[in-house]
Structure formats: C-alpha cells, structure tokens
Structure 1
Amino acid sequence: MRPRPWPEVPELTAQVARAVAARGPYPLAMRVRDELGELFADAEFAEAFGSRGRPGWSPGQLALVTVLQFAENLTDRAAAHRVRYGMDLKYALGLELDDPGFDASVLSEFRTRLVRHGMEEKVLDLLLTALKDRGLVKAGGKQRTDSTRVLAAVRDLNRLELAGETLRSTLETLACAAPDWLAQAVPVREWADRYGPRTHSWHPPASTSKREEMALVYGRDGFALLEAVHDPDAPAWLRELPAVQVLRTMWVQNYHRTVTEAGAEVNRRESKDLPPGRLRLASPYDTDARYGLKQGSWWTGYKIHISESCDDADDQAADSQAMLPEAGGPPPRLITGIATTDATVTDAEMTEPVHHMLAARDLLPAEHFLDSGYASAELIVGMKKSFGVTLVTPVLMNSSPQGRACAGFDRTAFTVDWDKRQATCPRGDTSTWWSPATLRGTTAIVIKFDKETCRPCPVRDQCTRSKTGGRTLSLQPREVQEVLDHARLQQGDEQWRAKYAIRAGIEGTIHQAVAVTGMRRARYLGLHKTHLEHVFSAVALNLIRLDAWWNGHPLDRTRVSHLASLGLSLPA
C-alpha cells in the first residue's frame, strides 16, 4: 500500500449523485463526505499493509465502506454491491461512475489485517479526533456508561453436545490436514458414522443412562485421538493445530482418567469439579466465548460497555452556538468509548479500564453516570484520586439487620470519632475496642462495645441480636466510609434522583445499537473481531447521529401510545 489522498469527487459522479439525492433525504454517505472529507487517511493504516506487491484498495476507503456497512447492517456481499451500484457510495469514495468496485472478500481481509495489527479502535480514534477539532466532543462535562450482553456466533451446547462437537471438529481438521495419517490412526469407518453429522442435526438419547454412556464413549475416543496425535511416530506439527489444542483443553476440563490394574478408566467430571466460568470453554469454534449470567439471564458470548456524552441541553446549546452558529440545535450525544469483554467479566471490574480508555483519548468526563453494578465506595474514591472523575451512581444500602429492616439503630445512629478511634452509641456510651481487620478479603475496622455496658441497656433488642455480647460495628477505612455515608445520604434526595435520571438515556443508545447495527449478536468469531465489530458499530451510530444533527432533525422522543394520548386529551 502506498498512502495517497482520497480522490476528489468526479464531476459526473457528483452531478448524478446529487440529482438522485434531490428526490429524497440526503444520503448519509454523501453527508459524511461533504462534512468530514477524508475522514480515514490511508497513512493511519500503513503499519497493517506491506510496501511491496500489487496495488490494493485504499484502507481508508475500506474503513468508510465498513462503517457505512454497519450503518445499514449489510453483509459483506451486500456492501460490495452497494459500492458497485450505489451513487451515494461512489460519491463518498470519489469513484467514477463506471468503477467496478471490489470483491466482497476484500472487506474480510481488511478486518483481519486490523485485528492482526491491534488496530481495532483506529476508526473510532480518528472520528473522535476529527470531532474534537470541531469542538463536538471534549473532556469534562458529563458521560454515562452501561453494558449489555452479546451472543456469540455459535450454538449453545450442553456438555454432551460440546464434547461430541469438539471431537467432530478436530477430526474434520485432521481429515483435511493429514488424511493419510488419520486413516491409519483411528477406525475411520466407525468414527465417520459417529462423528460425521453435526451434533445439532440429530437428537441425543432421552434416557439419562444412555446419554451418560454416550458421553463416556466420546471421552474414550477423545483420549485415544490425543494419544495418537502425541505418539512419537506422529508428525510433530499435528499437536500444534488449534483444533487439537482445543480438544486437549476441553478434555482436561470435562474428563479425567483413573489408572487401575485393569487399565485406564475414563470418567466425566462432576459439576463441582469443573473449572470456573472464566476459564471454561463454551464452544470449539469460538474459544473466547464464555457462559454469562446477568439479572437471571444466561447467554454464551460477550459483554459490551458503551460510554457516551450526555451533557445538559443548555450547556450543549451554549457550546454549539459558540462553535458552529450555523448548526441547528445542540450537538448530538456521541459514543466516546467501547469495551468488549467475555461474558464473565463484571461491570465493577471494568470501571477503571473504561476510565483508562477515556483518558487515553483525552475525553475524561467531570461527572460519570453509572449504575450500581459499576460502583463501590473504593471505586468512587479511586476514580476521583486517579482521574479526577466524580462517579454519580447509587451505592448499596446498609446491609446490617437493622438497616435491612429499617428499624432499630443501624450504623448511622452511632457517632464515630476517627481521631480518637472511638464510637458513641445513641445513648451516649462509648466503645472499648477499635481494631483494623480483614473481612472477606477487604480492609475493615471492627468496633466493639463492652458487653457489661450493653447487657442492661433498655433498647438492647433494637441494637443487637447477640444474647450475651455487646454491639459490634464494621467500618471501612475512613476516607472510603465517609464517601459511602455521603453517597447513601444523597440517594434519598429528590434533587439527586432527578440529576441521576440522565443515566437512563444510555438504554436508548443500547436499543439503537441493537436495532440498527445488530450489536446484540456477534457476526464474527473471537473477542478481538467481535470488539472490532462493536467499534465499527459505534462509529456508524455516531455518524447517524451527526447526520441527524447536520440536517436539523431533533432527537426522537419516547412514543406515546394512542390510549395514553386519548387520556391526556380528555378533560380532568
């Protein structure tokens, strides 16, 4: 590849495209070319391409085609067809009317190059840089983040189906890679009947005993194949095949052998002996996909975390008038970050990585609106110290018996003197014990009141359930505890709740991502390619929102049903 500027739009192409566009809404592709020009320069992708060989398609133009492909939720073949016949894409790419375009496989090769060279987020970085130069995104202000599940591009398999399909896929790979060796190593005729059809093409036995017997047959055959592959006389490169490595891992996770005088006995592992979900393979084809659970819903695949700007309309309007007086309305809310993880990673584990991602783009907000899954008192303190970001998020309420029952004296009824290392109960008695401790792996402070003080107390039953001992308090370190107490106090304030309501808008962004780009279902296999898909989807959504803003279209409001409209129109 030799980086070169994008060609100017040919006069005839521009004339025809504008004539066609005059009969309807101005196309997104043409608007992007008019407003942003050469958005993705070839030089930005140079490291993913060689400097010798036959000339290829411009990677910058392929990036724009891929973004527009996701904006219309097209397949590779349909996207290549649009480049060949669509006037708007020829205009956006600066192509002549008779340009034949490219083969659909070019898009797949382009994505593979980006993943191989770690450039999954390049297009989002370039778009956000261009928008920062125009003042449409900036550090400070408000942002919000939320996550949703993503289904991997594989079938959900139970343990029996997973074992059978893994062995079948390994045999298919070996039959292609080393057919002569495989014919000598295993009973091909017998195994062809057993492992020829895919597991979803037939029904397993209904009997539990027969299913268990079938699982053990799979286990013995799998161990026999692994022994044959690792035999000293077998070609050494066979054991390096990815499918063989997957088979070995799957068998270690699901089976074990017991060597006795009668020989090796194969058994399936009990459920309690399986590896943790973060390590357990869920498919022989997508080794990054994992089993996930959120709010009682199970799925196989990934999670995506979406961050977007959410400044107040008044602030946005003031900024837009200062920057772009000719534009109509405040700037749109734009996606500033995308993070993709396997399904087992919790939201709280991603709080710090999300802020590192935003800091790398110089787009850290002043206030970050999150749901309670992302937050803890430690994270609220840590994000403020490390990034200067205030997390606006609900925290878990007091979990003590008194706090859960909303009766009696919970921790807030006690006055804590951190300097004197002493607590005072509601009746004025002071604690006699103050000691640092570790509770469930976290640093804590344990405070105890003398049992002789608590035993005759007339309100003892409202303070502790202990029959003989005194009241005990467990606190977090001072800075964390004070932040936690302040956050819990704020949550009960109506003004805080009204402010926090802005976080709910991220649900609309997730809906738009699912409805427009199909983000809920992964197109590709593997974490890196799935993340690449999510990044291109985010850029597509940003361009769709920018297009609406450039055209002066306001944000859609929540639809009001006909019945609700009728109720509002009736006299009180």
Structure 2
Amino acid sequence: MAARDPYPLAMRVRDELSELFADAEFAEAFGTRGKPGWSPGQLALVTVLQFTENLTDRAATHRGRHGMDLNYALGMELDDPGFDSSVLSEFRTRLVEHGMEEKVLDLLLTALKDRGLAKAGGKQRTDSTRVLAAVRDLNRLELAGGETLRATLEALTCAAPDWLADAVPVREWVERYGPRIHSWHPPASTSKREEMLWLYGRDGFALLEAMHAPDALICLRELPAVQVLRTMWVKNYHRTVSEAGAEVKRRESKDLPPGRLRLASPYDTDARYGRKQGSWWTGYKIHISESCDDADAQDSATDGQALIVGADGPPPRLITGIATTDATVTDAETTGPVHHTLAARDLLPAEHFLDSGYASAELIVGIKKNLGATLVTPVLLKSSPQARAGAGFDRTAFTIDWDKRQATCPRGDTCTWWSPATLRGTKAIVIKVNKETCRPCPLRDQCTRSKTGGRTLSLQPREVQEVLDHARLQQGDEQWRAKYATRASMEGTIHQAVAVSGTRRARYLGLQTTHLEHVFAAVALNLIRLDAWWNGQPLDRTRVSHLARLDLTLAA
C-alpha cells in the first residue's frame, strides 16, 4: 500500500533541489557566538512546508517531530526530538529585523534559474487581491475610545503598575476599560454614544497629561501603545478653552485625516481601511506576479539546458514576485516597484500582462524606456463629451502636427494656439482653436459645447500621447483581445493562494511580517506546482462544479 501512495512533496523537494536553504544564506540574522541554535535553513524549509498545508506553528513542529517525510527533507535522525513551536516565531522575527523577508523566494528562484526553469524575458502577469488583517474591525466608538485606551492601560500596567496606580482612578477605570470592547454592547441611543465618546476623550487626555507631568517616567512616553494613543487622540479629538475651562470635543467626519493616515486598530498600526470593486476591508493588499509563457514558448524556455529528470511537459508557471502594501495603496503605485524587484532578480519579462488599474501612459513609456518591458494592458478610453456620446468630433478627428506645433480641425482649419501647461499636477499641452474661426463654422454643434469660445484640446507630451493613442487603437482589435486573455488565468493563482495557504487572512500583525507570510506562501505554491510538474500532473481547472466536471468527463 505504501508504494502506491503519492511521493511526499517534502521528500521530492529534497531529492530534486537538494539543500535549498543553506545556513550560510541566513548568517546575517544569526550570531556565531554562544550556544549553537537551530539551523536557520531547516527552519526556513519547515516554514515553507508549513504553508503548503496551511498548518499552525504547533502543527508544523509536530509534523517535523513525527513525520518521516519532513525528517528526510530536513536531514534529521528519526529519533530527533525536534523543536518547540516558539522557535518558528523567533525565526520569523529575526528575518524581519534584518530585512530578509524576500530571502527564501530569492534562493528558490536562483536554484530554478540554474536549472533553466526560470529566466528573464517571456511573459508574466500580475494581479492583486485583498488581505484581511489579523485584528477585529472596530467602529469609531470602539476604535477612537474604549479599545485604544484599554490597550494603553494594559501596556502601562505591565510597564509601571505603581505609577499607574497613583496616576488614574484604577477602580473606576477597571470597570470602564477592563473588558475588551467586543464583550459588551454599545448603547443604541445616539446621545449616549456621544456621551461615551466624550468620556473616552476626557480620560485619554487625562492619561496623556499624567505621562507628561514633570514627575512622570519619561520612558513611558516611548511605549508603542502610548504613541498609538497619542496619535489616535490627535486625529479624533480636540480641546477648546473657554470661560468654563477646557472642553473635549470629537472631530467631525469631514475633519478626519485621509484613509492612508488613519489607524484602523491599536494592535496593528500598519493596517488600513481599503476599498476595491465595491468591497471594503481592513488590512492589506497582495500583488502576485507569475510566469505565463504558453506551451510553445515554454518548450524553448530552457535554451537547451537539461530539465529535471522525470518531468514531462513545459516548465510550470512560477510565482516570480510578491508585493504587500496597505489597503490604501493603488495598483498603479506598485507597478514600478514590482518591475524593479523583477529586474533585481534578473527575471524581468518581455511582456507583462496587467489590468488597467496598474497602468497609465506614463508608466507604459517609463517601464519600456528604463527596463525594456512592454506592459500589455488596456488603457482608459477617451473621456471627451464627444467620445462618451459617440457622436460629433472627438480629439482623434483633429490632425496633430507635433513638429510644427499645430492642429488641423475636421473642416481643415489650422489652429496655432499651442501652450505647454500643467493639469492636475501632470504635464500637458493645451490647444485652442481661434473663436473667430469656430463661431461661423456649420459643424460647431458637433465639435464644442462652448457658447462663445472655440474648441479646446488637451494633449499629453508627444511620446506619452502617441503611446496612448496606439494602445487605444490596439485594444479594439480582436487579436489583441485574444492575446490579453492570458491575464485572466491569474484568478486561478489567486484562488490557489487563498485556498491552499490561507492568504486571504493575515496570520501576523504588521506590514513586514504579513509580507514575510506572503513570501513563504509564494515559495510553498511554487513547490506545489513543481511537485505537480515533476509528477506529470497537468494544471487543474478552477471554480468548476462537480456537475460541470461530469459533463467534461462524458464529453471526453
């Protein structure tokens, strides 16, 4: 029976890739003096294999202690007692502290490049999805009040209990801030909720004043929880001084800072409120890049190098890059960093398939000029009233002579009013048709809605505008649409990341540790794909119902 079981992934990785994560690669994060610790290379492999089955730290160490496949992959004796689950947490902390979040992915991709399974050029695609932070969603009453103040009091109780006992009325406050905010129901009355917010604001200011008193411990002001309290109170409350004395008031919604600067939790200060395609969430965004060469291209992708023995078919589609941002960062803001990361790994694609959220005319030009990669992406259509209505003369009806700096209208009249400008922070060119020419024109109603002036055109700089016009012309072609369909399969990769490694929900707190989690998950998915390729298992269909599978089987 054992011989019929599938060859375990952990053993296959060891046999095919040998020692994937050498201890020397992590030497920067681990000292050489003192008692020898656990092998960082072994801990890295355990963490990666942990994500292949979405295991907890405790379950992963149990597998490492009792699983023969992991013993084999780690090169451990069968009677090795293993290690405590807390070791994995300490290992991740060291990687983050030394900026080594990307190390395991770099090592895997380097090994695959040496074997001819990954290389620059070819095709890649990138897409993003939301990631929920490992904290509870809080409304403004809970966040800018009870829970933030409660978290600060907990930290101060641990750091300086004697000082806190003298600074605040402990018995009164323990009833108000002792239980977590989710263990009680806020009042339904609006007036009572406002009263609670005022009470929280007053207590928070009182605590901050006590910590800044001359006899207070200066070190308390530097506690992270205290810094969060101060930030939260500055952004949500203000005090006014009148004849009756100081008065605490809550800031109106219109006075709150933008979402990028607004804290969403006192426990995860990197998490932000995000919105994408009608979905709201608290947390982060993950951007996944993967190779997507078609079969013909993949057959020649190795340039004559020998493939791994036992593998059939073209090399698998591999995740080449992972970017993690807070939920407010737009896709377009990550386009540059994603390409620079791929370039640093010598894995920059010749063609990169992206959705329209990642691209602009400036980015298409800049990435091509600076890095040599072509962005295959739809661009926004023309936005003039004539273009939106599909009637009249839009900008393409005018002939632009860039060298002579003039435009010719559909009726043949030439306009020479050509002026560089800045529109909404972007360089542009404004062209105006003389109003004396426009007023008597019989086609005026099809050209402009102005009652007195002439037609005005706004162009981007020549290089950008020509790229934009060419892209708009291309995306109307059926052949281009068929080519762009390559990007659609990225949804399958996102589904695999969510279903296999639990990427939808962050395990850890903070942007850096969440990014570390995503990198380990990406390495795990690559190993799963390599294992399927080594075993000759084809790509499976995603999101297909059992009934649809039956129909496909019968049709075959």
TM range (shorter): over 0.9
* 1:111-510 matches, cutoff 5 A: 111-162=92-143, 163-319=145-301, 322-324=304-306, 326=309, 327-510=311-494
Relative to 1, partners in 2 of residues 1:216 and 1:559: Cα closer, same or farther, differing over 3 Å?
Answer: closer
Query: How far does the alpha carbon of each residue in 1:287-341 deviate from its partner, in whole angstroms, 9 at most, with x for none?
Result: 1111111112111111111111111111102335933355201000100110111
2:186 and 2:553 map into 1 onto residues whose CA distance is 59
Task: Give the aligned residue type for 1:446.
Answer: V
Task: Give the aligned residue type for 2:225.
Answer: A
Relative to 1, partners in 2 of residues 1:426 and 1:249: Cα closer, same or farther, differing over 3 Å?
Answer: same
Q: Is the 8 A contact 1:153 1:522 kept in 2?
A: yes
Task: Give the aligned residue type for 1:148.
Answer: T
1:566 and 1:339 map into 2 onto residues whose CA distance is 38
Q: Is the 8 A contact 1:291 1:301 kept in 2?
A: yes
User: Secondary structure of 1:130's partner?
Assistant: helix
How far off its partner does 1:558 sit? 4.4
Relative to 1, partners in 2 of residues 1:566 and 1:243: Cα closer, same or farther, differing over 3 Å?
Answer: closer
User: Secondary structure of 1:292's partner?
Assistant: strand
Q: Give the TM-score normalised by structure 2.
A: 0.97
Which portions of structure 1, spanning 4 or more consecutive aligned residues, are displaced by more than 6 angstroms?
A: 565-571
Query: How far does the alpha carbon of each residue in 1:249-298 deviate from its partner, in whole angstroms, 9 at most, with x for none?
Result: 11011111112232211001111111111111110000111111111211
2:525 and 2:355 map into 1 onto residues whose CA distance is 23
How far off its partner does 1:155 sit? 0.6
Match of 2:53 in 1: 72
User: Secondary structure of 1:396's partner?
Assistant: coil
Q: Is the 8 A contact 2:237 2:251 kept in 1?
A: yes
User: Secondary structure of 1:378's partner?
Assistant: helix
Relative to 1, partners in 2 of residues 1:27 and 1:489: Cα closer, same or farther, differing over 3 Å?
Answer: same
2:509 to 503, 525, 537: 525
Relative to 1, partners in 2 of residues 1:569 and 1:170: Cα closer, same or farther, differing over 3 Å?
Answer: closer
Instruction: Decide which moves more: 29-38 or 92-101.
Output: 92-101
**Unmatched tracts of structure 1, length 5 or more:** 1-18
Task: Give the aligned residue type for 2:437.
Answer: T
Task: Give the aligned residue type for 2:428.
Answer: A
2:531 and 2:45 map into 1 onto residues whose CA distance is 15
1:397 and 1:552 map into 2 onto residues whose CA distance is 44
1:37 counterpart = 2:26: no
How far off its partner does 1:111 sit? 0.4
Query: How far does the alpha carbon of each residue in 1:165-203 deviate from its partner, in whole angstroms, 9 at most, with x for none?
Result: 000010111111111111111000000000001100010
1:538 and 1:198 map into 2 onto residues whose CA distance is 35
Query: How far does the alpha carbon of each residue in 1:501-520 deviate from its partner, in whole angstroms, 9 at most, with x for none?
Result: 10111111111000000001
Q: Is the 8 A contact 2:405 2:416 kept in 1?
A: no
User: Secondary structure of 1:423's partner?
Assistant: strand
Query: How far does the alpha carbon of each residue in 1:220-251 deviate from its partner, in whole angstroms, 9 at most, with x for none?
Result: 00000001111110111111111111101110
1:105 counterpart = 2:86: yes
How far off its partner does 1:452 sit? 1.8
Match of 1:9 in 2: none
2:478 and 2:306 map into 1 onto residues whose CA distance is 36
User: Secondary structure of 1:323's partner?
Assistant: coil
How far off its partner does 1:416 sit? 0.3
Q: Is the 8 A contact 2:290 2:318 kept in 1?
A: yes
Q: May I ask how many residue pairs the two structures share in their alignment?
A: 552
Q: Is the 8 A contact 1:320 1:330 kept in 2?
A: no
User: Secondary structure of 1:530's partner?
Assistant: helix
1:322 and 1:358 map into 2 onto residues whose CA distance is 23
2:322 and 2:60 map into 1 onto residues whose CA distance is 24
2:15 and 2:367 map into 1 onto residues whose CA distance is 40
User: Secondary structure of 1:69's partner?
Assistant: helix
Relative to 1, partners in 2 of residues 1:530 and 1:407: Cα closer, same or farther, differing over 3 Å?
Answer: same
Relative to 1, partners in 2 of residues 1:356 and 1:570: Cα closer, same or farther, differing over 3 Å?
Answer: closer
Relative to 1, partners in 2 of residues 1:487 and 1:121: Cα closer, same or farther, differing over 3 Å?
Answer: same
Q: Is the 8 A contact 2:492 2:542 kept in 1?
A: no
User: Secondary structure of 2:283's partner?
Assistant: strand
Relative to 1, partners in 2 of residues 1:291 and 1:478: Cα closer, same or farther, differing over 3 Å?
Answer: same
User: Secondary structure of 1:103's partner?
Assistant: coil
Relative to 1, partners in 2 of residues 1:400 and 1:96: Cα closer, same or farther, differing over 3 Å?
Answer: same
User: Secondary structure of 2:124's partner?
Assistant: strand
Task: Give the aligned residue type for 2:72.
Answer: Y
Q: Is the 8 A contact 2:104 2:520 kept in 1?
A: yes
Identity %: 86
User: Secondary structure of 2:83's partner?
Assistant: coil
Q: Is the 8 A contact 1:125 1:361 kept in 2?
A: yes
Relative to 1, partners in 2 of residues 1:283 and 1:566: Cα closer, same or farther, differing over 3 Å?
Answer: closer
